[in-house]
Amino acid sequence: MTTNDRRAFRPDPRLSAALLLAKGVARGIQVAGRGGGTSAPGMVADRVDVGLLTKLTDRLAHGVVTVAGTNGKTTTSRMIADLLEAGGMKPVHNRSGSNLVRGVISAFASQARLNGDPGGDAGVIEADEAALPELLERVSPRALLLNNLFRDQLDRYGELDTIARKWRPAIERLGPETTIVVNADDPTLAALTTGVAARVVRFGFNEERHRLESLSHASDAAACRVCGADLAWHALYVSHLGDWYCPSCDNRRPDLDAIGLDIQLNGVESLDMTVRDTIRDTDGDHAIHVGVPGVYNAYNVLAAVAVGRVMDVPMPTIIASMAAFRSAFGRIERVTYRDRTLTLALVKNPVGFNEVLRMLTVATGGLEVPTLIAINDLHADGRDVSWLWDVDFELLADGDGKLATTGIRGADMANRLKYAGVAEDRLTPLPEEFESSLDAFVEQISAGGSGYILPTYTAMLRIRKILADRGAVESFWKQ
Amino acid sequence: MTQPSKPCDLKIAWLYGARMNIYGDRGNIIALTQRARWRGIDPEVVEIGIGEPIPDDVDIFFFGGGQDQEQIAVSRDLVGPKGKAINRAVDNGAAMLSICGGYQLLGHEYRPYGAEPLPGIGLFDVTSEAGSERFIGNVLVESNEWGSLVGFENHSGLTWLGSAATPMGKVTIGRGNNGKDGTEGVRFRNAIGCYLHGALLPKNPKLADWLIEAGARRRHGTDAALDALSDTTEQIAHRSAIRRAKQMR
Ligand SMILES: [Zn+2]
For the cut 70, the answer to whether the pLDDT of residue A448 exceeds it is: yes
Which DSSP letter does residue A24 get? H
Question: How many angstroms separate the CA atoms of A117 and A124, rounded?
Answer: 16
Catalytic-labelled residue, pool B100, B108, B155, B238: B100
Question: How many angstroms separate the CA atoms of B105 and B207, rounded?
Answer: 22
B72 alpha carbon – ligand 1 mean position (Å): 17
Residue B154: its chain A contacts at CB < 8 A?
154-155, 384
For the cut 80, the answer to whether the pLDDT of residue A230 exceeds it is: yes
**Which DSSP helix (H) or strand (E) runs through A299?**
helix A295-310
The enclosing domain of A229 has a CATH number of: 3.40.1190.10
- The whole-number pLDDT of residue A451 equals 95
β-pairing verdict for B186-188 and B183-184: unpaired
In this structure, the answer to whether residues A342 and A201 fall within a common structural domain is no
- The whole-number pLDDT of residue A152 equals 66
| Inside any domain, residue A319 | yes
- The whole-number pLDDT of residue A410 equals 98
Q: Which of A291, A321, A310 is nearest to A85 (CA)?
A: A321
Crossing angle of helices B205-220 and B26-37, in 10° steps, is: 60
In this structure, the answer to whether residues A228 and A201 fall within a common structural domain is yes
Helix (H, G, I), strand (E, B) or coil at A309: helix
Question: How many angstroms separate the CA atoms of B14 and B79, rounded?
Answer: 18
Question: How many angstroms separate the CA atoms of A194 and A281, rounded?
Answer: 24
Q: Which of A292, A354, A370, A356 is nearest to A324 (CA)?
A: A292
DSSP for A123-166 reads: EEEE--TTTHHHHHHH---SEEEE-------HHHH--HHHHHHH
What ipTM does the predicted assembly reach? 0.94
Report residue B202 CA to chain centroid gap.
13
Contact B152 A384 (CB under 8 A): yes
Catalytic-labelled residue, pool B108, B155, B197, B238: B197
- The whole-number pLDDT of residue A274 equals 95
pLDDT tens digit sequence for A192-205: 999 999 999 999 99
Q: Which residues have C-beta under 5 Å from ligand 1, the single-atom ion?
A: A 224, 226-227, 229, 246, 249, 251
For the cut 60, the answer to whether the pLDDT of residue A4 exceeds it is: no
A388 alpha carbon – ligand 1 mean position (Å): 31
Contact A223 B69 (CB under 8 A): yes
In this structure, the answer to whether residues A441 and A472 fall within a common structural domain is yes
Cross-strand bridge partners of residue A326: A291
Q: By CA distance, what is A376's nearest residue in B?
A: B244
| Inside any domain, residue A1 | no
- Residues 54 through 73 of chain B touching chain A, CB cutoff 8 Å: 67-70, 73
In this structure, the answer to whether residues A134 and A254 fall within a common structural domain is yes
Cross-strand bridge partners of residue A344: A333, A453
- The answer for residues whose C-beta is within 8 angstroms of residue B144's C-beta and 6 or more apart is B169
Contact B23 A160 (CB under 8 A): no
The enclosing domain of A385 has a CATH number of: 3.90.190.20
For the cut 80, the answer to whether the pLDDT of residue A222 exceeds it is: no
- The whole-number pLDDT of residue A157 equals 54
In this structure, the answer to whether residues A244 and A175 fall within a common structural domain is yes
Give how many domains chain A has, as a whole number: 2
- Residues 24 through 43 of chain B touching chain A, CB cutoff 8 Å: 24-27, 30-31, 34
Q: Please provide the average confidence, as pLDDT, over all residues in chain A.
A: 88
A245 alpha carbon – ligand 1 mean position (Å): 8
Contact B241 A412 (CB under 8 A): yes
Residue at a domain's end among A324, A346, A374: A324
CATH number for B10-247: choose from 3.40.50.2000, 2.60.40.770, 3.40.50.880, 3.40.190.10: 3.40.50.880
CB atoms within 10 A of CB A296: 23
B100 is catalytic: yes
- The whole-number pLDDT of residue A158 equals 58
In this structure, the answer to whether residues A92 and A170 fall within a common structural domain is yes
pLDDT tens digit sequence for B190-244: 999 999 987 999 999 999 999 999 999 999 887 778 899 999 999 999 999 999 9
In this structure, the answer to whether residues A410 and A313 fall within a common structural domain is no
β-pairing verdict for B126-143 and A371-374: unpaired
The pair phi, psi for residue A155, each rounded to 5°, is -70, -20
Which of A162, A388, A411 shows the shortest C-beta gap to B236? Answer: A411
A385 alpha carbon – ligand 1 mean position (Å): 34
Question: How many angstroms separate the CA atoms of A140 and A60, rounded?
Answer: 12
Q: Which of B131, B30, B165 is nearest to A421 (CA)?
A: B30
Q: Which of B96, B99, B95, B97 is nearest to B66 (CA)?
A: B99
pLDDT tens digit sequence for B21-34: 777 889 999 999 99
Which DSSP letter does residue A379 get? G
User: A70: exposed, middle or buried (C-beta count within 10 Å: 0-12, 13-18, 19+)?
Assistant: buried
Task: Tell me which of B196 and A37 has the higher pLDDT.
Answer: B196
- The whole-number pLDDT of residue B166 equals 97
In this structure, the answer to whether residues A215 and A173 fall within a common structural domain is yes
- The answer for residues whose C-beta is within 8 angstroms of residue B115's C-beta and 6 or more apart is none
Question: How many angstroms separate the CA atoms of A100 and A200, rounded?
Answer: 25
The pair phi, psi for residue A427, each rounded to 5°, is -105, 125
Say if CB B29 and CB B12 are below 8 A apart: yes
In this structure, the answer to whether residues A336 and A452 fall within a common structural domain is yes
Structural domain boundaries, residue A162: 6-324
- The answer for residues whose C-beta is within 8 angstroms of residue B62's C-beta and 6 or more apart is B12, B13, B14, B15, B17, B25, B28, B29, B32, B96, B97, B98
Residue at a domain's end among A266, A297, A324: A324
pLDDT tens digit sequence for A42-65: 998 999 999 999 999 999 999 999
Question: How many angstroms separate the CA atoms of A66 and A278, rounded?
Answer: 22
B110 alpha carbon – ligand 1 mean position (Å): 27
- The whole-number pLDDT of residue A89 equals 97
B197 is catalytic: yes
Q: Spell out the domain ranges in chain B.
A: 10-247
Q: By CA distance, what is B205's nearest residue in A?
A: A415
Say if CB B62 and CB B13 are below 8 A apart: yes
Contact A386 B202 (CB under 8 A): no
Q: Which of A61, A69, A68, A67 is nearest to A90 (CA)?
A: A61
Q: What is the full per-residue pLDDT of chain B (249 aa) written as tens digits?
A: 444 444 448 999 999 987 777 778 899 999 999 999 999 999 999 999 989 999 999 999 999 987 777 788 899 999 989 999 999 999 999 999 999 999 999 999 999 988 899 999 999 999 999 999 999 999 999 999 999 999 999 999 999 999 999 999 999 999 999 999 999 999 999 999 999 987 999 999 999 999 999 999 999 887 778 899 999 999 999 999 999 999 988
In this structure, the answer to whether residues A360 and A430 fall within a common structural domain is yes
Question: How many angstroms separate the CA atoms of A62 and A84, rounded?
Answer: 10
Contact A386 B236 (CB under 8 A): no
In this structure, the answer to whether residues A281 and A350 fall within a common structural domain is no
Single-letter code of the amino acid located at A203: F
Single-letter code of the amino acid located at A104: V
DSSP for A46-108 reads: HHH-TTHHHHHHHT-TT-EEEEE-SSSHHHHHHHHHHHHHHTT--EEE-TTS--SHHHHHHHH
For the cut 90, the answer to whether the pLDDT of residue A186 exceeds it is: yes
Say if CB A142 and CB A63 are below 8 A apart: yes
In this structure, the answer to whether residues A374 and A254 fall within a common structural domain is no
- The whole-number pLDDT of residue A477 equals 39
State the nearest Cα–Cα gap between B163 and chain A, in angstroms: 32
Say if CB B96 and CB B192 are below 8 A apart: yes
